Amino acid sequence: MPPLPRIQIEAPPWLADLVDWDRAYTSDEERMDLAIALARENVLRGVGGPFGAAVFESDSGRPVSVGVNLVVPLNNSVLHAETVAIMLAQQRLASFTLRAPGMPPHELVASCDPCAMCLGATLWSGVIRLVCGAAREDAAAIGFDEGPVFPASYDYLSERGIAITRGVRRAEARAVLELYRDRGGVVYNA
C-alpha cells in the first residue's frame, strides 16, 4: 500500500504583513476592513478566491488569526477563508474550541456571508459572534453557490449563543468580489 498523503495547510507568508498584531481593532468596521484587505490582496496576488476572514478576541479587539481562501492553490475544497482563520486560531491557542475555560471570548469576521460549510464551522469553532460583510446575493452575482443557507441557519446559530451582524462594509466587500470576477477568477464551486 502506498503511503497516505499528508495535508499541510500554511497561510501565505504575506498575510502576516497585512495585520498589525499588536493593534486593538476596536470596531466592527475596523475588523471588517482587515478581512476585506485580506480578500483584496488574495485577489490582487492571484492566489485564491475573493474571501478573507479573521478571528479576534472580542473584548480587546486583538487579532488571533487571519485567513484567505486557499481552495484553488492548495487543491482543497474546505479551505475557505473562514475555516482557515478558525483552524489557525485553534492551532495558535492550542485548543479545539475558542470557547475553552479561561479563554477570552472570540469572534469571526468574514468578508462575505459564510457558505453552508463555514456556517457549520462557525457553530463548532467556539466563537461567540459572527460579523459579515458582503451578502450571499453578492457572491451569487459573480457565480458562487453558497449552498443551503436559510434564515433558519442564522436563527440556529443565534439560538446557540452566537451573535450575528451582517452587512458591515458591504459595498467595499462586494467590490472585492467584483474585482475577482473582472480579473477572471475561477468560480470553483459552481
Give the tens place of pLDDT for each residue, 20-42: 999 999 999 999 999 999 999 99
How many domains is the chain partitioned into structurally? Answer: 1
- Say if 8 falls within a structural domain: no
Instruction: Please check the confidence at residue 190 and state whether its pLDDT lies above 70.
Output: no
* Contact assessment for residue 91 and residue 130, using Cβ atoms and an 8 Å cutoff: no
pLDDT band at residue 11 under the 50/70/90 scheme: confident
- Say if 99 falls within a structural domain: yes
CATH number of the domain residue 82 falls in = 3.40.140.10
- Say if 97 falls within a structural domain: yes
Q: What pLDDT does residue 4 have?
A: 86
- Average pLDDT taken over every residue of the chain: 95
Active-site choice (41, 57, 82, 107):
82
Residue 82 annotated to the active site: yes
| HEC per residue, 107-154 | EEEEEECCCHHHHHHHHHHCCCEEEEEECHHHHHHCCCCCCCCCHHHH
What is the residue range of 123's domain? 13-182
How do residues 55-113 score in pLDDT, each as one tens digit? 999 999 999 999 999 999 888 999 999 999 999 999 999 999 999 999 999 999 999 99
- Say if 188 falls within a structural domain: no
